[in-house]
Amino acid sequence: MLQARHPGPSDIQLGNDDYLGLLQNSKLVSSWERRRSAYHPGDVLISSAFITEGSFQSQVESRFAEFLSTDQSIICQSGWEANVGLIQAIATKKTKVYMDYLAHASFREGVKSAGASLLTFRHNDVKHAAQLIGNHWPGIVLVDAVYM
C-alpha cells in the first residue's frame, strides 16, 4: 500500500523503534552502522508493517525458510507479536482454546483477536485441563512452558 523512499543524508528521521534509547550509545551506534551498511546499505529502522520485498529482513526470512525446509518464515519484533500472530493464524471463531490461567497475556490477546473461545484451567493443574478438554474437545492447549 505504502511505498516509502529511503531517507537521504540531509533528511531528518522523525521516528524509529529505539524504545530503549540504545542509539544514544556512540559505541553501539558505530558498530551497528558498520554492520548495517555491510549487509544492506540504506535500510531504515522501521516497523515491519512497512518492510518491502527485497529488504534485508525479507532476505533473512527467506534464508530461514530455506534452512527450515519450509515455504516461508516470519521474524517477529517481539514475543508478544509472535504469540498474538500465531494464535490468529491457527484459531478461528469455532476454535476452543484451553489456556493455563497464568499464561502470558499475549496468548489471551491472540485468542481475543481470533475471536476464539477461551477456557482457562488452574495454573499447572493437568487434571483440571483434562477435565475441560474432555468436556469441550477439540481445541488448542496453550501454556507458557512445561512447568516443574
Average confidence (pLDDT) over 38-66: 72
Q: How far is CA 45 from CA 9, 52, 136, in A?
A: 15, 13, 45
Residues 6 or more apart whose Cβ sits within 8 Å of residue 23: 16, 29, 32
> What average pLDDT does the chain have?
83
pLDDT: is 97 or 20 the higher one? 97
CA-CA-CA-CA torsion sign (62, 67, 68, 70): positive
Q: Check whether 40 has a pLDDT greater than 70.
A: no
- C-beta of residue 97 within 8 angstroms of C-beta of residue 142: yes
Judge whether residue 59 has pLDDT over 60. yes
Q: Are strands 140-142 and 96-100 parallel, antiparallel or unpaired?
A: parallel
Distance between CA atoms of residues 55 and 18, nearest Å: 19
Which triple of cell numbers denotes residue 124? 499447572
Residue 53 has pLDDT above 80, yes or no: no
End-to-end CA distance of the chain: 47
User: Span 74-87, mean pLDDT?
Assistant: 88
Residue 8 pLDDT: 75
pTM value surpassing 0.85: no
Residue 66 binned pLDDT confidence (cut-offs 50, 70, 90): very high
